[in-house]
C-alpha cells in the first residue's frame, strides 16, 4: 500500500487516533457487504449514482468504496474529496476511512472544503488576507435594517436572516428576489420590496466592514474557480475523485461548486434519497439527484433497499407512507426490505387531549425504562419545537430524565423568558397597567400581557422564527387557561409561581435521558424506541403547508420520523388541545389506510421495487432509472441473448439486418431536433437515436404499440405520443405544433 502523502496545495491537519487494525487487503475491505453495497464499492469508474433508502448502509457503502479504491491502488488518498452536510457526518466518515486503512482522504462539509481552498488561493487570486468570516450574521442584518429605517423584532431578524441565506444558496441577487419569491411561491417574512432593500443593505454593511459570511465562502470560491482557470486547474489536479453524500440536499450554489471542482471529468459518486428531502425551505432541492442520469447518461445507478436499521413492521409502515405519495420525488421512491428479525407492530393511540397524550407517552417510557430499555435509546419526536413544553413537563412529573435536541428548552427560550418577566411585573403592579384595565379573568390577563410580546388570536402566516415565537407564547396562553380551569381563584401571581416551579423542575441533569427532538433535527439519528406524537391534522401536515409540494414534504418528514425507529414505534394524536375542549381534531391524513380501522387512500405508483444495479451506457439513456429485466432479452432476428442496452432497446443485435424505414427515421430526427430546440435541452432528452430507430423499425399505429417500445415511457408517451404516431402514419404536422 502506498503511504498517503501530504497535499502540496492544502495543508493537512495534525493529530492521530487509535483504531482497530484495518482489513488485510483490498479484497478484505469488501467482506461483509451485501451485493448492492459491494457494487457501489467496486464501481470506481465513471459517474455513479447510489439511491440509498433509510437504514440501508449508505455510509458503509461509500466509505468502503473509497477504501477499496485506495487499498487496490486505483485511487490516491490525497486525490479524493468526500463532501457531506454536517461536521458530525464528515467526522464519522473520516473515522470509518481510517479504520479501513484509507487515511489521507479528505472528508469535509462543502463549506469546510471551500474555505480551505479560499484561504489558500485568496492571496494569489485577490491579494492580501481573506476577509474575516463572521460566525453570526443576525447583528449585521439588524444594522442593515437600521440603515434602511426598517424596524425588526428578534423573530423577524431571524426570519429575514434566513431569507437572505436562502437567496444566496439559490444564487438570487437582491434585484431578482421579488420575482424569484413569486416564482417559487415562497412565503416572505416581510414585503418582498423590503426584503430586497434589506438584502442589498446587508451586502453593503458586509462590504463596508470587510467581512464575509458563511454563504460567501461558497460564492467566492465559485467566483474564483470561474474566473481563474489556472486556479481551477490546480484544484482539479489535486482532487480527481469526488463523493457527495446526502445529494438530495444539495443547493444550486453547492451544485455549481461541485461542477467547477469536476470540470470536464466524470469521476463522481453521489448518494441520496429523494424521499428524505425535508429541507427545501433552506434552498435544498432533490432535482440534482433526480436529474443525475439525464446529466450523466453513462452513469451506473445502484439502489440500496435492504434496511438493516428497522424491523419489518416499521419498514412496512414506512413503505405504506410513501406508497400514497405524489410528485416527482414519489416517482423515484425506494421500497425498503427489512433485514432484521420481526418486531412488535407499531402502536397507534388516540387521546382525548394533549396533556393526556403527553402523560401517556411518559407512562409508556417509564415502563420501558423499568423493563431495561436505556433512556438514551428512546426518543419523542414532534413537528414543532413549541410542542416540547408539555412533554418536558410530563417527563419531569414522571421522574424521567430527558435531553432536548436541536432547540432550546421551552423555559430557556428568549420569548418565554420575556413573557414570564412581563407576567411577573403585571402580577406585582397590575393595578397600574393599562393593559389590564378591562380584563377580569386570568386567561384574559395573560392574553393581554402577551399581546405586547407578539401574541395574537390568529397565528401568523407561514413558518419560521415568527411562527415559532407565536407558538411558544400560545403555549403559555393555553397553559394559563388550563391552570385557571383547575384553580378558578388563581391569580396572575399564582400562575407565575407555577411557571417558576415548572422551569425549576426541568433543570435537573439530563445527559443520559430520553431525547426530545423535532422531526427535522432527528434526521440522521436512530433509536430503539421512537414515539411520534401530535400526528394530527393541522400539525402533520402543518397548517401552513398549502400546496401539494408542501404537503408532500410533510409526508416525507413523517417518513423520516418513522424510519428513525429500530424496533418499537408508537404513533399518537389528541382529539383536542386541552381537557374539556371540543374534540374537533382527526388523525393525520397520512395515516389513512395504515392505522387500524382507517380507509385506505388510493395507492400511487412509483419507481420503487427491488434494489439493483443499472449499468450506464455512454451515448444516452432516457434519464429514467429502470430495473434490470427479470427475463433475458433476445434478438428478434437471430434469437441471441442481448446484454447491450442499445441492442435491448432495438430488440435485435447491432449487426443483424434492420427493416427500418429510413425516411421515417429521418422525419423523426427532424421532429426531435425541433422539439429539443423548443425545450432548450439536448436531442437525446427527447428520445435517443436507438429509440427513434426502434420506432422506425416497428412503425407503431396505436399508443399501446408505441408504449411497448423500450425508451417510450408513460411521461414521454403522454407528451409526444400523438405527434410520433402522426409521423409514423405519414401525416404532416402543422408548423409550430408542440405538445408542450
578-614 pLDDT per residue, tens? 887 888 899 999 999 898 877 765 544 444 445 566 5
Question: What is the C-alpha separation between 421 and 430, in angstroms, rounded?
Answer: 13
* Residue in 230, 213, 47 with CA at minimum distance from that of residue 138: 213
- Scanning 604-713, the segments in alpha helix (DSSP H) are 645-650, 662-679, 689-698, 703-707
SS3 420: helix
Give the C-alpha distances (Å, rounded to integers) separating 190 from 181, 182, 279, 471: 12, 13, 21, 19
Q: What is the DSSP letter of 11?
A: P
Please check the confidence at residue 739 and state whether its pLDDT lies above 80.
no
* Residue in 308, 324, 385, 353 with CA at minimum distance from that of residue 595: 324
Provide the pLDDT for residue 199: 93
Provide the pLDDT for residue 608: 46
% of the chain at pLDDT higher than 70: 84
SS3 376: helix
Question: What is the C-alpha separation between 434 and 426, in angstroms, rounded?
Answer: 10
62-102 pLDDT per residue, tens? 999 999 999 889 989 999 999 998 887 888 888 888 888 88
Cβ proximity of 549 and 286 under 8 Å:
no
Distance of CA 654 to the CA centre of its chain: 43
Query: Known binding site: residues?
Result: 52-59
171-205 pLDDT per residue, tens? 999 999 999 888 887 878 888 899 999 999 999 99
Question: What is the C-alpha separation between 277 and 292, in angstroms, rounded?
Answer: 16
Provide the pLDDT for residue 552: 92
Give pTM, 2 decimals: 0.68
Please check the confidence at residue 554 and state whether its pLDDT lies above 90.
yes
* Residue in 222, 305, 284 with CA at minimum distance from that of residue 258: 222
Provide the pLDDT for residue 427: 81
430-439: long-range pairs with CB below 8 Å, 24+: 430/492
pLDDT, averaged across the chain: 82
Grid cell, residue 332, equals 423515484
Query: Known binding site for ATP: residues?
Result: 52-59
SS3 348: strand
Q: Where are the beta strands (DSSP E) in 278-377?
A: 300-304, 306-307, 337-338, 347-351
Question: What is the C-alpha separation between 268 and 281, in angstroms, rounded?
Answer: 27
Average pLDDT over residues 205-217: 92
Q: Where are the beta strands (DSSP E) in 336-452?
A: 337-338, 347-351, 378-382, 402-405
Give the C-alpha distances (Å, rounded to integers) separating 563 from 253, 568, 678, 707: 29, 11, 43, 36
**Residue 472 half-sphere exposure, CB side, CA atoms within 13 Å?**
24
Worst-scoring range by mean pLDDT, 22-31, 128-137, 502-511?
Answer: 502-511
Worst-scoring range by mean pLDDT, 355-369, 622-636, 682-696, 723-737?
Answer: 622-636
User: How many other CB atoms are there within 10 angstroms of residue 546's CB atom?
Assistant: 14
Give the C-alpha distances (Å, rounded to integers) separating 565 from 372, 483, 561, 666: 17, 35, 8, 56
Question: What is the C-alpha separation between 313 and 333, in angstroms, rounded?
Answer: 19
* Residue in 560, 549, 568, 471 with CA at minimum distance from that of residue 521: 560
Question: What is the C-alpha separation between 469 and 627, in angstroms, rounded?
Answer: 48
Highest mean pLDDT among 87-96, 357-366, 446-455, 684-693: 357-366
Grid cell, residue 293, equals 442520469
Q: What counts of helices (H) and strands (E) characterise the chain? A: 28, 19
Average pLDDT over residues 36-49: 91
Angle 591-274-172 from CA coordinates, rounded to 5°? 115
Question: What is the C-alpha separation between 542 and 236, in angstroms, rounded?
Answer: 45
Question: What is the C-alpha separation between 533 and 530, in angstroms, rounded?
Answer: 9
Provide the pLDDT for residue 738: 46
SS3 65: helix
Grid cell, residue 376, equals 438514551
Please check the confidence at residue 19 and state whether its pLDDT lies above 80.
no
Average pLDDT over residues 708-712: 78
**If you count them, how many residues does the chain have?**
740
Provide the pLDDT for residue 620: 37
Question: What is the C-alpha separation between 479 and 496, in angstroms, rounded?
Answer: 11
Question: Each residue of 707-738: b (16+ CB within 10 Å) or e?
Answer: eebbbbeeebbebbbebbbebbeeeeeeeeee
Angle 319-321-323 from CA coordinates, rounded to 5°? 65
Grid cell, residue 656, equals 443483424
Cβ proximity of 100 and 63 under 8 Å:
yes
Q: Tell me what percent of the chain is helix, strand and coil, each rounded to the nearest 5.
A: 50, 10, 40
pLDDT band at 678 (very low <50, low <70, confident <90, very high): confident
Provide the pLDDT for residue 1: 27
Question: What is the C-alpha separation between 639 and 717, in angstroms, rounded?
Answer: 28
Distance of CA 293 to the CA centre of its chain: 20
Question: What is the C-alpha separation between 679 and 502, in angstroms, rounded?
Answer: 61
Grid cell, residue 118, equals 479560499
* Residue in 129, 108, 107 with CA at minimum distance from that of residue 118: 129
Grid cell, residue 245, equals 453524500
Amino acid at each position: 500500500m502506498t503511504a498517503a502523502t501530504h497535499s502540496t496545495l492544502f495543508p493537512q491537519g495534525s493529530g492521530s487516533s487509535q483504531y482497530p487494525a484495518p482489513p488485510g487487503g483490498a479484497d478484505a475491505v469488501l467482506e461483509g457487504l451485501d451485493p448492492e453495497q459491494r457494487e457501489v464499492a467496486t464501481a470506481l469508474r465513471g459517474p455513479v449514482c447510489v439511491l440509498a433508502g433509510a437504514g440501508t448502509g449508505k455510509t458503509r457503502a461509500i466509505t468502503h468504496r473509497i477504501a477499496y479504491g485506495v487499498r487496490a491502488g486505483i485511487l490516491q488518498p490525497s486525490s479524493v474529496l468526500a463532501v457531506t452536510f454536517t461536521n458530525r457526518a464528515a467526522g464519522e466518515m473520516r473515522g470509518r476511512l481510517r479504520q479501513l486503512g484509507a487515511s489521507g482522504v479528505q472528508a469535509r462539509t462543502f463549506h469546510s472544503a471551500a474555505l480551505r481552498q479560499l484561504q489558500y488561493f485568496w492571496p494569489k487570486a485577490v491579494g492580501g488576507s481573506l476577509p474575516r468570516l463572521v460566525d453570526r450574521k443576525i447583528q449585521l442584518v439588524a444594522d442593515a435594517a437600521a440603515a434602511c429605517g426598517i424596524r425588526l423584532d428578534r423573530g423577524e431578524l431571524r426570519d429575514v436572516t434566513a431569507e437572505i441565506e436562502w437567496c444566496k444558496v439559490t444564487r438570487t441577487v437582491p434585484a431578482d428576489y421579488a420575482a424569484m419569491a413569486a416564482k417559487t411561491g415562497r412565503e416572505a417574512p416581510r414585503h418582498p420590496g423590503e426584503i430586497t432593500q434589506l438584502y442589498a443593505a446587508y451586502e453593503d454593511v458586509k462590504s463596508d466592514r470587510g467581512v464575509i459570511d458563511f454563504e460567501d465562502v461558497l460564492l467566492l470560491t465559485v467566483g474564483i474557480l470561474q474566473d481563474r482557470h489556472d486556479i481551477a486547474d490546480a484544484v482539479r489536479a489535486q482532487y480527481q475523485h469526488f463523493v457527495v453524500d446526502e445529494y438530495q440536499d444539495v443547493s444550486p450554489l453547492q451544485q455549481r461548486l461541485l461542477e467547477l471542482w469536476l470540470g470536464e471529468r466524470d469521476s463522481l459518486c453521489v448518494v441520496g434519497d429523494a424521499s428524505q428531502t425535508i429541507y427545501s425551505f433552506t434552498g435544498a432541492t432533490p432535482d440534482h439527484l433526480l436529474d443525475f442520469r439525464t446529466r450523466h447518461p453513462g452513469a451506473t445507478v445502484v439502489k440500496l433497499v435492504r434496511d438493516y436499521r428497522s424491523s419489518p413492521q416499521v419498514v412496512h409502515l414506512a413503505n405504506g407512507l410513501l406508497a400514497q405519495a405524489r410528485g416527482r420525488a414519489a416517482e423515484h421512491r425506494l421500497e425498503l426490505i427489512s433485514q432484521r428479525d420481526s418486531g412488535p407492530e407499531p402502536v397507534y393511540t388516540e387521546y382525548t387531549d394533549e396533556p393526556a397524550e403527553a402523560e401517556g407517552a411518559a407512562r409508556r417510557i417509564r415502563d420501558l425504562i423499568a423493563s431495561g430499555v436505556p433512556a438514551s435509546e428512546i426518543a419523542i419526536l414532534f413537528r414543532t419545537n413549541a410542542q416540547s413544553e408539555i412533554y418536558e413537563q410530563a417527563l419531569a412529573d414522571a421522574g424521567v430524565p430527558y435531553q432536548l435536541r436541536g432547540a432550546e428548552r421551552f423555559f430557556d427560550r428568549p420569548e418565554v423568558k420575556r413573557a414570564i418577566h412581563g407576567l411577573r411585573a403585571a402580577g406585582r403592579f397590575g393595578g397600574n397597567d393599562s393593559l389590564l384595565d378591562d380584563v377580569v379573568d386570568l386567561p384574559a390577563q395573560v392574553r393581554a400581557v402577551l399581546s405586547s410580546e407578539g401574541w395574537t388570536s390568529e397565528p401568523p402566516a407561514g413558518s419560521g422564527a415568527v411562527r415559532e415565537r407565536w407558538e411558544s407564547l400560545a403555549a403559555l396562553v393555553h397553559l394559563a387557561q388550563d391552570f385557571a380551569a383547575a384553580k378558578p381563584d388563581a391569580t396572575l401571581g399564582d400562575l407565575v409561581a407555577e411557571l417558576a416551579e415548572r422551569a425549576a423542575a426541568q433543570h435537573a441533569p439530563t445527559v443520559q435521558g430520553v431525547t426530545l427532538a423535532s422531526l427535522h433535527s432527528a434526521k440522521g439519528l436512530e433509536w430503539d424506541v421512537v414515539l411520534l406524537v401530535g400526528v394530527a391534522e393541522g400539525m402533520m401536515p402543518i397548517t401552513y403547508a398549502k400546496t401539494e409540494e408542501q404537503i408532500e414534504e410533510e409526508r416525507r418528514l413523517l417518513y423520516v420520523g418513522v424510519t428513525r425507529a429500530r424496533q418499537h414505534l408508537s404513533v399518537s394524536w389528541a382529539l383536542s388541545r386541552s381537557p374539556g375542549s371540543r374534540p374537533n381534531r382527526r388523525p393525520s391524513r397520512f395515516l389513512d389506510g395504515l392505522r387500524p380501522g382507517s380507509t385506505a387512500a388510493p395507492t400511487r405508483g412509483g419507481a420503487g421495487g427491488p434494489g439493483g444495479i443499472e449499468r450506464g451506457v455512454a451515448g444516452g439513456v432516457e434519464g429514467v432509472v429502470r430495473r434490470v429485466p427479470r427475463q433475458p432479452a433476445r434478438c428478434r432476428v437471430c434469437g441471441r441473448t442481448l446484454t447491450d442496452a442499445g441492442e435491448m432497446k432495438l430488440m435485435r443485435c447491432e449487426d443483424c439486418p434492420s427493416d427500418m424505414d429510413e425516411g421515417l427515421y429521418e422525419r423523426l430526427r427532424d421532429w426531435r431536433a425541433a422539439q429539443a430546440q423548443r425545450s432548450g435541452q439536448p436531442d437525446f432528452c427527447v428520445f435517443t437515436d436507438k429509440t427513434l430507430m426502434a420506432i422506425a423499425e416497428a412503425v407503431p399505429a396505436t399508443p399501446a404499440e408505441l408504449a411497448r417500445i423500450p425508451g417510450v415511457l408513460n411521461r414521454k408517451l403522454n407528451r409526444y405520443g400523438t405527434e410520433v404516431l402522426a409521423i409514423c402514419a405519414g401525416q404532416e404536422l402543422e408548423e409550430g405544433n408542440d405538445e408542450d
